[in-house]
Amino acid sequence: MTAIAIIGDVGGCAAHLAAALEHLDAAGGDTVVIQVGDLVDRGPDSTGVLDLVQPRIDASPRRWIQLAGNHEAQYTGGTTFWPERLDDRDAERLRRWWLRDRMHVAAAVRTAAGEDLLVTHAGLTPAAWHDLGAPVTAATAADLLNTRPEPLLWQDRGPLWAEHVAASWLEAHEPMPFSQVHGHSSIVDHQRRGWRCAERVRQRSTVDWDARHTTTRISGARIIGVDPKHGRSGAPAWSPLLLPDAELL
């Protein structure tokens, strides 16, 4: 077992990623990083972000688990939607990571308390879970997602694009089989410290405003949101989600 750090959407904010990595490196040990995707776009330095990630992927792809977000998907087979395109070198770098299996769709983690977590960019909705064959473990779900099932991968209910994941499980009236961690969207407005979700979700949720994490409890499991919503200039304060003594499944 080791420490696992899950880093939410970076969105081109290279200085913010560098500060988080410096803090993790200073803590020592063999921390495994899972980054949930959306490394690029919106912020001031997408190239700088990719330059920070590249040597870590090259040095030890088992210690830096890179997931794809919908912004990366524009260069790996998904629909183009962001008007500010990466330069050719960075676009090719993302395609190379995808083709060489350095960028994945999902990861699975077991915490020190024995809780299994599926980690994806946007979360796994009940509809997408059923499309996968209703896997009962996070590890199986991650394995199935990492086969890159099409067309689910690119659909709006899929793991790169899904919205309102917590609400979708509450509406499904069936137990969520395992806990999840996702980026991409949030049930709160961190800047204004306000809620952006239905009351039934709010009643089951808590927020760490300083770390910019949300937790929603559903049928004995959790959905943890880690998108810090950096925007154009970066969040004034945020933290990776740290899981001590955890195991990568």
Q: CA dist 26 to 20, 32, 34, 225, Å? A: 10, 14, 18, 25
Write out the DSSP string of the chain.
-EEEEEE---TT-HHHHHHHHHHHHHT-S--EEEE-S--SSSSS-HHHHHHHHHHHHHH-TTTEEEEP-HHHHTTTTS----SSPPPHHHHHHHHHHHHTT-EESEEEEE-TTS-EEEEESS---HHHHHHTT--SSHHHHHHHHTT--TTGGGSTTSTTT---HHHHHHHHTS--SSEEEE-S--SEETTTTEE-S-HHHHTTEEEETTTTEEEEEETTEEEEE-----TTT--SS--PEEEEEEEE-
d(CA 161, CA 152): 10
Local confidence band at 154 (pLDDT 50, 70, 90 cut-offs) = very high
For residue 30, the model assigns a pLDDT of 84
d(CA 122, CA 68): 10
- Shortest CA distance to 159 belongs to which of 68, 90, 247, 76? 68
For residue 41, the model assigns a pLDDT of 98
Query: Does 232 have pLDDT greater than 80?
Result: yes
What value does the mean pLDDT of the chain take? 96
Q: CA dist 81 to 85, 98, 177, Å? A: 9, 19, 33
For residue 2, the model assigns a pLDDT of 86
Residues making up the chain, counted from first to last = 249
HSE, side-chain direction, 13 A CA sphere, residue 41: 20
Amino acid at the residue 190: H
Contact 121, 156 (CB under 8 A): no
- Shortest CA distance to 153 belongs to which of 119, 117, 121, 179? 121
For residue 190, the model assigns a pLDDT of 95
For residue 238, the model assigns a pLDDT of 97
Is the whole-model pTM more than 0.95? yes
For residue 1, the model assigns a pLDDT of 65
Give the alpha-carbon dihedral of 124, 126, 131, 137, to 10 degrees.
70
